[in-house]
């Protein structure tokens, strides 16, 4: 159920933020660096650009499936659509996200007008574990329309194509992790509902092993076969979470330049990554995976978190997610300091089914990590 956060094309007008102590400002910066100022998968502003040519504003938008993705062209168009800095999107990064990050591949629905591609949405295929067995899902990612072609009609066309695709292909779930601007758009056009509010937790680690032996390894230094074998020990099929196996998780950890590391006790595995912005370096806690059948203690959690902070030489850590299988580390961030809503939205196409109850959903399960 990984899902990319969304943002509206145009920055919204807001009251100035209240002043914060310097320490909290640094913490907020760390959260932004971790991805909690989210990746710009976007619900475009449906208001047309007043400066756009009338012909472009009136152009009908047709949405169709893109069979062969030109990653270099898509990266350039995404930067135009998002108004992003050069290098924000790369062909290598998009290829990893669409083909390897969640194993099951990606369907791209492209918007065309005036003989050219003017936007798209990526439906990243995933498998969700449910009490009755695995179910198919898609996560909404990288939704954009370039400025001259934004309109309510274009938005409705893209979202309508998403719903038709899911119904035609027998997809049970749509999931998303939107920012504040996009959450309402997902509700309006796709009837998504809030399934969970992710916790954002922060703290400091690296002060000792807490009586637990921890095996810490950089993913880049691991032999692939050894890495998959280690991950297999901790990847289960608990209902209410994404399906992970050692092979699937190894592909997820192949993200270019991410710097992932693994930290394991007998009962618990932590996936971590170093992150930095101009204000604060920190350790991102991407996933806490208990060994199937085990009940990790708080000391296990403290030990792997401290090992991660020591390995990355970043004592400040940030965690985002929910996990009913382990005691969560750190201090819960107050709502007034949350830089993003961090909610999991969902739509279930199975009428009358029991509500989906997520048991574990963390940064590794969407594209923040």
Q: What are the tens digits of pLDDT across the range 53-98?
A: 444 445 789 999 999 999 999 999 999 999 999 999 999 999 999 9
Q: State pLDDT tens for residues 133-174.
A: 999 999 999 999 999 999 999 999 999 999 999 999 999 999
Mean pLDDT of 86-114: 95
Give me the pLDDT at residue 236, please. Answer: 85
| Model pLDDT, residue 362 | 97
pLDDT confidence bin for 278, thresholds 50/70/90: low
What is the SS3 assignment for the chain? Answer: CCCCCEEECCCCCCCCCCCCCHHHHHHHHHHHHHHHCCCCEEECCCCCCCCCCHHHHHCCCEEEECCCCCHHHHHHHHHHHHCCCCCCCCHHHHHHHHHCCCCCCEEEEEEEECCEEEEEEEEEEEEEEECCEEEEEEEEEEEEECHHHCCHHHHHHHHHHHHHHHHHHCCCEEEECCCHHHHHHHHHHHCCEEEEECEEEEEECCCCCCCCCCEEEEHHHCCHHHHHHHHHCCCCCCCCEECCCHHHHHHHCCCCCCCCEEEECCCEEEEEEEEECCCCEEEEEEEEEECCCCCCCHHHHHHHHHHHHHHHCCCEEEEEEEECCCCCCCEECCHHHCCCCCEEEEEECCCCCCCCCCCEEEHHHCCCC
Mean pLDDT value of segment 213-217: 95
Using one digit for the tens of pLDDT, what is the confidence trace for 250-261? 999 999 899 999
Report whether pLDDT(339) > 90. Answer: no
Query: In the prediction, which pLDDT does 18 show?
Result: 35
Give the per-residue pLDDT at 368.
83
Percentage of the chain beyond pLDDT 90 is 72
Mean pLDDT of 325-351: 92
Q: What does pLDDT average to over the chain?
A: 86
pLDDT at 22 over 50: no
What percent of the chain has pLDDT above 70?
A: 83
Residue 306 pLDDT exceeds 60: yes
- pTM of the model as a whole: 0.84
Confidence of residue 210 (pLDDT cuts 50, 70, 90): low
Q: What is the pLDDT of residue 136?
A: 97
Reply yes or no on whether the pLDDT at 334 is more than 70.
Answer: yes
25 pLDDT more than 60: no
In the predicted structure, residue 47 carries a pLDDT above the cut 90: no
The pLDDT value given to residue 182: 83
């Amino acid at each position: 159920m990984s899902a990319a956060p969304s943002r509206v094309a145009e920055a919204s007008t807001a009251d100035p933020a209240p002043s914060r102590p310097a320490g909290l400002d640094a913490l907020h910066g760390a959260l932004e660096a971790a991805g909690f100022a989210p990746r710009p998968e976007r619900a475009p502003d449906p208001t047309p650009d007043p400066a756009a040519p009338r012909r472009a504003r009136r152009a009908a938008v047709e949405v169709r499936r893109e069979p062969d993705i030109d990653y270099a062209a898509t990266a350039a168009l995404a930067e135009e659509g998002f108004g992003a800095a050069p290098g924000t999107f790369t062909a290598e990064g998009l290829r990893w996200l669409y083909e390897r990050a969640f194993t099951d591949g990606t369907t791209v629905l492209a918007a065309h007008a005036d003989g050219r591609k003017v936007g798209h949405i990526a439906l990243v295929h995933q498998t969700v574990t449910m009490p009755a067995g695995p179910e198919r899902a898609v996560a909404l990612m990288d939704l954009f329309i370039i400025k001259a072609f934004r309109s309510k009609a274009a938005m409705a066309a893209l979202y309508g194509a998403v719903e038709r695709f899911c119904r035609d292909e027998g997809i049970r779930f749509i999931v998303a992790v939107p920012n504040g601007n996009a959450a309402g758009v997902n509700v309006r056009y796709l009837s998504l509902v809030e399934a969970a509010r992710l916790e954002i937790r922060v703290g400091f680690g690296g002060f000792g092993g807490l009586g637990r032996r921890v095996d810490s390894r950089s993913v880049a230094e691991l032999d692939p076969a050894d890495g998959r074998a280690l991950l297999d020990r901790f990847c289960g099929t608990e209902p209410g979470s994404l399906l992970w196996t050692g092979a699937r998780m190894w592909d997820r950890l192949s993200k270019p330049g991410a710097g992932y590391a693994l930290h394991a006790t007998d009962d618990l595995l932590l996936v971590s990554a170093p992150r930095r912005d101009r204000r604060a370096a920190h350790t991102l806690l991407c996933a806490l995976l208990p060994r199937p059948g085990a009940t990790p203690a708080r000391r296990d959690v403290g030990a792997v978190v401290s090992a991660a902070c020591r390995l990355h030489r970043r004592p400040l850590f940030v965690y985002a997610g929910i996990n009913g299988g382990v005691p969560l580390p750190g201090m819960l961030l107050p709502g007034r300091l949350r830089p993003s809503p961090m909610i999991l939205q969902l739509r279930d196409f199975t009428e009358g089914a029991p509500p989906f109850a997520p048991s574990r959903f963390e940064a590794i399960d969407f594209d923040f990590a």
